[in-house]
Amino acid sequence: FFNHYRAMNDTCPPEQHHEYFFWWKEGLATLIVGITGLIANSIAIPILLSKKLISIFNRLLVSLAIFDNIFLFCTLSETIRRNFHNSDLQTISFIYIFYPLQNISAVCSIYTTIGLAAERWLAVSRPVEYHLSVNANGARPWKRVTAYVAPILIFSIAYNIPKFFEVKPRVNVIYNQTEYDPIAKTHVVYNVTQMDFDLTGIRMNEDYVFYYVNVSRLIITGIIPLFSLSYLNM
């Protein structure tokens, strides 16, 4: 094995080594970890929904698992498209569905985690008021969970609306194929194409990249969650 690996090091150019490493890391490893997380979340959801585990906290965990599964599914779809199999349908789905949905679900997961921390903080720091609030007027867990999840979902969609306009489809001509048409008695040239994508003018705009892609995402997905979780877990 070591002799074979040494021989490969001697014969393969650095670019090919990079491609191998990228395939193992970004392809196979991501696929294994993503599928494992998807299965684990899918197993946890029905368990957390059981009558024995009925609580607001567990229902929030279910919401978090659903958002995480959506994110993982989008990630796995893109991993397969980039490293294993690519079709026009996959590319179109990535542009119009999976790319914006991945960003929406990521923000939902982050702020649902903050919601979990807030629910725990209320239960620990104000147990009497929390107990009365939860049980007042026969309140059901899903009603309180909706009060967390609905604003999070609305905010996540609104914040990520620009993601729907960052990528556009592009058709690449792979090669030309010439065939003889016996009816027309002439040669016909066919273009064999493959769907790809480009960044739009919005995504290439320097102000957009600086203020939305860098600054706002740092604040929304980094600074606010960091300080919120730090405070709620003190």
135-158 confidence digits (pLDDT tens): 765 557 788 899 999 999 999 999
Phi, psi of 173 (to 5 degrees): -85, 115
**Which structure tokens are listed for 133?**
């609030």
Interstrand relation of 186-199 and 167-181 (parallel, antiparallel or unpaired):
antiparallel
pLDDT of residue 9: 53
What is this structure's pTM? 0.82
* Contact between residue 195 and residue 95 where contact means Cβ atoms under 8 Å apart: no
Q: Which parts of the chain sit beneath pLDDT 70?
A: 1-23, 136-139, 175-181, 184-185, 187-192
pLDDT at 7: 47
CA distance 83 to 21: 12
- Nearest-angstrom CA–CA distance, 1 and 3: 5
C-alpha span between 195 and 98 (Å, rounded): 16
For the domain 2-232, what is the CATH code?
1.20.1070.10
Q: Which residue has the tokens 């008021």?
A: 129
CA distance 101 to 79: 15
pLDDT at 139: 57
Distance from C-alpha of 66 to C-alpha of 35, rounded to nearest angstrom: 14
Ramachandran quadrant class, 23 (left: phi over 0; alpha: psi -120 to 50; beta: rest):
alpha
Query: What integer pLDDT is reported at residue 42 of this predicted model?
Result: 95
Q: Dihedral of CA 58/64/67/68: which sign?
A: negative
pLDDT of res. 86: 82
H or E stretch at 135: helix 127-135
**Residue 32 has what pLDDT?**
92
Q: What does the alpha-carbon distance between residue 64 and residue 118 come to, in Å, rounded to a whole number?
A: 14
Residue type, position 43, single letter: I
Model pLDDT, residue 2 = 39
Instruction: Tell me the per-residue pLDDT of 179-189, one tens digit each, with 9 for 90 and over.
Output: 666 776 676 66
